[in-house]
Amino acid sequence: MRITNRTGAAALVAAAATYLVLALATGHSARAELPVDLTPPPADAALDVWKAAAGVVQAAGRAAVLDVRPADAYARYHLPGAESLPGASAEDVLAHARGRPFTLVYAGKDEVALRLVQEARRADPGARVHYLVDGARAWYLALALPVPLFAEAAPPAGYAEALAAAQAALSAPSPDRVASGVEALQTLARLDFRPDLLKAGGKAKAGGAKKKISGGCG
């Protein structure tokens, strides 16, 4: 075949276009696979469930997890390793936070936890004290509820393994579980597999019938 200036230029344009499409596709794929940064910012009082859990794991067994709800709510359901401090004051929180690299507070209402954390931070600006947004409910839905029973779709690949690894790291935090625990939480955050059959009132349609969430996590 005879190659002219015109056909040669056309070939170059086509090659460049193909390269651009491949580069964009590859770049998008690479960005999609970037691990989620779950490091809790020291300045942030409020943490979502993934950053809160990552903070506990990264503390390698030295975190303080403080449940300031009434004792009966703690008895029904509480975060792994949480200490019950019903009606705690900011001074109580700081006493438990002293010497800890990470302290997580949760309450029945976010405004209660926020007020405690703000008061504690004002009293000791260097304290690493945070609160869990949406409290025990957020933790339960993300890390304890059997989500596949309350979801329309099947779990994505890797979900079950990541959940098991995260639960293991959170039930017994230690230095040798930090890397695997954080990686598992990053996977769960990226997959974002939710119990989408749940209703706002705490009930779900599963298998054609309504089911109530157990655990008393409010």
Per-residue pLDDT of the chain (218 residues; tens, 9 = 90+): 455 555 555 544 454 445 444 444 444 444 456 778 999 999 999 999 999 999 999 999 999 999 999 999 999 999 999 999 999 999 999 999 999 999 999 999 999 999 999 999 999 999 999 999 999 999 999 999 999 999 999 999 999 999 999 999 999 999 999 999 999 999 999 999 999 998 654 444 444 444 445 445 66
User: Is the dihedral angle over the CA atoms 138, 140, 143, 148 positive or is it negative?
Assistant: negative
pLDDT of residue 27: 45
pLDDT of residue 198: 84
pLDDT of residue 14: 53
pLDDT of residue 118: 98
| Rounded alpha-carbon distances, angstroms, from residue 81 to 57, 60, 63, 169 | 12, 12, 9, 12
Burial bucket for residue 59 (CB in 10 Å: 0-12, 13-18, 19+): buried
Give the predicted TM-score (pTM) of the model: 0.79
Residue keyed to tokens 């302290």:
103
8 Å CB contact between 50 and 188: yes
pLDDT of residue 35: 79
Q: Which helix (H) or strand (E) holds 117?
A: helix 110-123
CA–CA separation, 141 vs 136, rounded Å? 9
pLDDT of residue 188: 98
Q: How many CB atoms lie within 10 A of CB 33?
A: 8
pLDDT of residue 6: 59
To the question of domain 46-139 being in CATH 3.40.50.800, the answer is no
CA–CA separation, 196 vs 188, rounded Å? 15
Residue range(s) occupied by CATH 3.40.250.10 in the chain: 46-139
Residue keyed to tokens 């949406």:
134
